[in-house]
Amino acid sequence: MTSDNSAERSAKTRQLLGMKGAAPGETSIWKIRLQLMKPITWIPLIWGVVCGAASSGGYSWTLEDILKAAACMLLSGPLMAGYTQTLNDFYDREIDAINEPYRPIPSGAISIPQVITQILVLLFSGVGIAYLLDLWAGHEFPNLTCLTLGGAFIAYIYSAPPLKLKKNGWLGNYALGSSYIALPWWAGHALFGQLNWTIVVLTLFYSLAGLGIAVVNDFKSVEGDRQLGLKSLPVMFGIGTAAWICVLMIDIFQAGIAGYLISIHQNLYAAILLLLIIPQITFQDMYFLRDPLKNDVKYQASAQPFLVLGMLVAGLALGHAAI
């Protein structure tokens, strides 16, 4: 009985967080709305804001800066990531009916008009907070508002026809990777410093590691993607080859960032970043390369903390160099 209760609680938690393997049957509309927003996906965007604030060299531990950072995290995570995930579920309802029929839309737990309302509320709330942050930071040009609108546009063309970038494994995953690394990083940096081309180019380069992370999510959808003609990397190259592409992208481009840190004489930070890649490679061998379909969640839980710590190390190094 205890085991059954524990399994039921675990399934409900996974459902609320928007994770694979959730259980159907939720009736609370607010929990269903939260499930659509996939809270588990907010974490890297919130962390990206932290990295951007660190790389700006202008963040200080004052109450005002803490509140600014918190508002920017709300913008990047719950609002814009929530908007992106809800929009994606709306346009993926046919695929989810095959791969994840327990999701709120294909299961009928929430109506289409309710989903559209949620998308619009999240979008307009995000743009409104971005505009207020621009005013708060005293920006002459509305940097955060433009970044928010740009991110919303990328989310739309990623999910919606006719472009539907996710139909192409390379374009779609890079759009996803850059949205999860570069965009929140730029927002955090612009809020506390002056966004510049060095940061833009470096974070877009770093986003190629994010492309590898994005590919991990494609393995759970192979059958539906294949049936509906979506050319994800596992569909195009097969499970084994796609798994290798995934891990190599993650490791090589992180190492490239470490090389750049060495070139600007941030050697200690570069060494720490390289050391953080070692446990990632270990978990890639233990879990992901052996069975990416079975171990994708376990791999993400064990390896991704080292990726996000590496991002912060890089942000601190860039901030230190800027001072």
CB-CB neighbours of 91 under 10 Å: 17
Residues 6+ apart with CB under 8 A from 195: 143, 186, 189
Asked whether residue 213 is assigned to any structural domain, the reply reads yes
Asked whether residue 54 is assigned to any structural domain, the reply reads yes
Give the range among 99-113, 151-165, 261-275 with minimum mean pLDDT: 99-113
Phi, then psi, of 231 in degrees rounded to 5: -95, 65
Between CA 198 and CA 177 the distance in angstroms is 18
**In the beta sheet, which residues pair with residue 249?**
none
Dihedral sign computed on CA atoms, order 42, 46, 49, 50: negative
pLDDT value of position 23:
58
Between CA 124 and CA 108 the distance in angstroms is 26
The pLDDT tens digits for 53-86 are 999 999 999 999 999 999 999 999 999 999 999 9
DSSP 284: I
Q: Is 231 in a helix, a strand, or coil?
A: strand
Residues 6+ apart with CB under 8 A from 124: none
Overall number of domains in the chain: 1
Asked whether residue 294 is assigned to any structural domain, the reply reads yes
The pLDDT tens digits for 224-240 are 788 877 788 999 999 99
Name the residue with higher pLDDT: 31 or 9.
Answer: 31
Band (3; pLDDT cuts 50, 70, 90): low
From residue 13, alpha-carbon distances to 10, 17, 19, 23 in Å are 5, 6, 9, 9
pLDDT value of position 20:
60
Between CA 228 and CA 281 the distance in angstroms is 33
Average pLDDT, the chain: 90
DSSP 194: -
Asked whether residue 71 is assigned to any structural domain, the reply reads yes
Between CA 184 and CA 199 the distance in angstroms is 12
Asked whether residue 161 is assigned to any structural domain, the reply reads yes
The position carrying tokens 């993607």 is 225
Question: The CATH number of the domain where 168 resides is what?
Answer: 1.10.600
pLDDT value of position 123:
98
Torsion of CA 216, 218, 222, 227, to 10 degrees: -170
Q: Provide the domain limits for residue 196.
A: 27-322
pLDDT value of position 22:
56
Among 6, 8, 34, 2, which Cα is nearest to 21's? 8
DSSP 20: T
Q: Is the pLDDT of residue 115 over 90?
A: yes
Asked whether residue 22 is assigned to any structural domain, the reply reads no
pTM, entire model: 0.90
Q: Output the DSSP codes for 210-253.
A: HHHHHHHTTGGGHHHHHHTT-B-HHHHH-HHHHHHHHHHHHHHH
Asked whether residue 20 is assigned to any structural domain, the reply reads no
Q: Is the pLDDT of residue 219 over 70?
A: yes
Asked whether residue 177 is assigned to any structural domain, the reply reads yes
Chain centroid, CA 155 distance in Å:
12
Which tokens sit at 132? 């207020």
**Where are the extended beta strands (E) located within 39-111?**
none
Among 217, 235, 220, 222, which Cα is nearest to 300's? 217
pLDDT value of position 8:
57
